[in-house]
Structure 1
Amino acid sequence: MKLYTMKGTCALAANIAIAWEDAPIEVICLERSELREEAYLAVNPKGQVPALVFEDGDVLTETVAILTYIGAAHSGAAHEAYTRDKKLGRKEAEALAFLSSEVHAAFKVHFHPNLFANAPKTEKAARHKTYWRLDKYFEQLNAKITETKGPWLLSQKSYADAYLYIIGRWVETTPMELEDYPNLLAHQQMMEKDESVLLALSRQNMTPRLYFVEDEVRDEEE
């Protein structure tokens, strides 16, 4: 299989999940300009990452869809409980849906305000509103980790943690402070001690931020 990614994007979630399962993969890290080139548009006409290409040429896109496939096809010790226990599996599906449809979607206004407003003044207003929404979402996620007694988002490690990790990195590109959500900060620090996470970061031309490296140039994008 091949996984197409780009630095700083949500493709990192699938990259981490694949590393957790030790599944064979070729990770291709694109430059932004390559997303609109004919070669990649032939793979994914949407011009987005991630895209997972199978041996037969079939292509699967969208983070949650790829994570669902990985869980079904390659689930090992890192994900076994969620495959075996239907209740746990439902909780993971719920968490992934929330991260994708609510939290990730809200970041689109931060990264691309011009798509939601037609003037600098209205762009500023749109961003201000999305930061308010994100604060509410992060309060909920912080409380969820308290509820499950941490350190994971759910009762044990899940693919939702991989998705939450990359979203947590995006906070640094906003006026918000991750320190305001101590459980999420601890989650980021814990993830950056994970060897599979470090492998996934290196495969996507990224480095740890909060725990090991403080001065990396901020280059995260949705």
Structure 2
Amino acid sequence: IELYSRLYVDLSPNVALIAGYKADRKGNLYTGPSTEDTPALVEAAAFHDGIVIAQVNELVDDECDLPRVDIPGSWIDYVVVADKPFFIEPLFTRDPRLIKQEHILMAMMAIKGIYAEHQVQSLNHGIGFNTAAIELLLPTYGEQLGLKGKICKHWTLNPHPTLIPAIESGWVESVHCFGGELGMEEYIRARPDIFFTGADGSMRSNRAFCQLAGQYAVDMFIGSTLQVDGYANSSTVTRGRLSGFG
């Protein structure tokens, strides 16, 4: 949130390079399910004498050929059609086969000792197999504890497949997403009652807004991290990648 905010204070970009699925000849941009932090970056540059360059997979003739307009053409200076589609790396596939017994035990302790005890209604579910195990256990262990309708109704997290059982069994009322997840597009399209979607059916993610919601509008955050020091500072740095703002 600090870095997004500083885009409008002392770190305003001179040039913003963004990617989208489609654009029309007026520059109107369709970003699809992975809008992420595009609006925050574009607005900071476009309205502070900066230049915005959009790479797209496809150029269409008219605005009517776009599923929806995510960024207006008046905010974009140049559109470049890529020679091949941009690459998206799936980050949170959370293969349930990799969940171990200790993850399940920790998940059961969290559900009974924290979620139930404090009646957690809204939550920011972080990454890791620990939270994946919690999501999968809600329709079984959570149901046995009689917690359905009492906890875990509103979520801020990416649309992980491990959340599907809880959604389909009626635990989840809403999910706002930081970004998309490859392979989940059709499921999201089928559940506009749960996810934030456009008229075209694709998700409208917004990382800046979801970070705000996940820090200031929920009952709790739970997640895993690589390492924590004695002052509880957490590192999100892995070799070759800075995966978050820390």
- Structure with bigger strand share is 2
| Higher normalized contact order (CA 8 Å, seq sep 6+, divided by chain length) | 1
Report the TM-score when normalising by structure 2. Answer: 0.26
Structure number with bigger Rg: 2
- Structure with bigger helix share is 1
